[in-house]
Amino acid sequence: MNAPQRPFLRVEPAAPSAASLALIDRIYEAAAVPELWRAVLIDLARLAGAPQAVMIVSTGTRFRDWVTTSPEFDALVLAHTERFPDNIRTRRLLDMRHPGFLSDLDVVTQDEIDTDPLYRDFLIPRGYGSGTATAVMVPSGDSVIVHCERPHADGPFGPEMLATLDTLRPHLARAALLSARLEMERIATTTRTLELLGLPAAVLGTGGRLLAANAGLTALMPHTLSDQPSRLAVVDPAADRLLREAMGGARGGDRPLPVRSIPIPAQDERPPVILHLVPVRGAAHDVFARARAVLIATPVVARDVPSADVVQGLFDLTPAESRLAALIAAGDAPVPAAAKLGITPSTARSVLKRVFQKTGVSRQAELVGLLTGTALS
Axis crossing angle, helix 319-329 with helix 364-372, rounded to the nearest 10: 90
- pLDDT of amino acid 286: 45
Q: Please give the chain's pLDDT, 377 residues, in tens.
A: 455 545 555 666 666 677 788 898 888 888 777 778 899 999 999 999 999 999 988 877 777 778 899 999 999 998 998 899 889 999 999 999 888 899 999 999 999 999 999 999 999 999 999 999 999 876 556 788 999 999 999 999 999 999 999 989 888 887 876 776 666 566 666 666 666 656 788 888 877 888 878 888 888 898 899 988 778 999 988 888 888 888 875 444 444 455 567 878 777 777 778 888 777 655 444 445 567 788 888 776 555 556 666 666 556 678 888 888 888 888 888 899 989 999 999 999 999 988 887 776 778 887 777 776 554 33
For residue 375, the model assigns a pLDDT of 45
Asked whether this chain's domains 18-182 and 308-372 adopt the same fold, the reply is no
- The pLDDT value recorded for residue 376 is 39
- What is the structure's pLDDT at 158? 92
Distance CA(290)–CA(230), nearest Å, equals: 15
At 91, phi and psi to the nearest 5? -60, -45
357: CB partners within 8 A, 6+ apart: none
**What is the per-residue pLDDT for 195?**
66
**Right CATH for 18-182 from 3.30.450.80, 3.40.50.410, 1.10.150.50, 1.10.10.10:** 3.30.450.80
User: Residue 253: which region, alpha, beta or left (left: phi > 0; alpha: psi -120 to 50)?
Assistant: left
362 close to 353: Cβ distance less than 8 angstroms: no
| Per-residue model confidence (pLDDT) at position 18 | 78
Cα(143)–Cα(64) distance, rounded to whole angstroms? 10
Nearest Cα to Cα of residue 133 among 84, 77, 182, 92: 92
Residue 101 makes CB contacts below 8 A (sequence gap 6+) with 132, 133, 134, 157, 162, 165, 166, 169
In CATH, the number for domain 308-372 is 1.10.10.10
Whole-number Cα distances in Å, 107 to 69, 95, 323: 24, 10, 61
Burial annotation 359-369 (CB, 10 A radius, 16+ → b, else e):
bbbeebebbbb
User: Cα separations (Å) of 312 from 299, 300, 319?
Assistant: 17, 15, 7
Instruction: Say if pTM beats, i.e. exceeds, 0.85.
Output: no
Task: Give CA separation, 35 vs 18, 76, 202, in Å.
Answer: 24, 20, 21
Gap between the Cα atoms of 322 and 255, Å rounded? 28
- At 306 the pLDDT is 61
197-299 maps to which CATH number? 3.30.450.20
Geometric angle at alpha carbon 186, from 75 and 297, rounded to 5°? 70
CA distances from 256 to 29, 57, 253, 291 (A): 26, 24, 8, 12
What residue ranges do the domains of the chain occupy? Answer: 18-182, 197-299, 308-372
**Tell me, what's the pLDDT at 89?**
94
Alpha carbons 180 and 203: distance in angstroms, whole number: 14
State how far the Cα of 329 lies from the Cα of 371, in Å rounded to an integer.
7
pLDDT given at position 4? 58
Q: Half-sphere exposure of 242 toward its Cβ, with a 13 Å CA cutoff?
A: 25
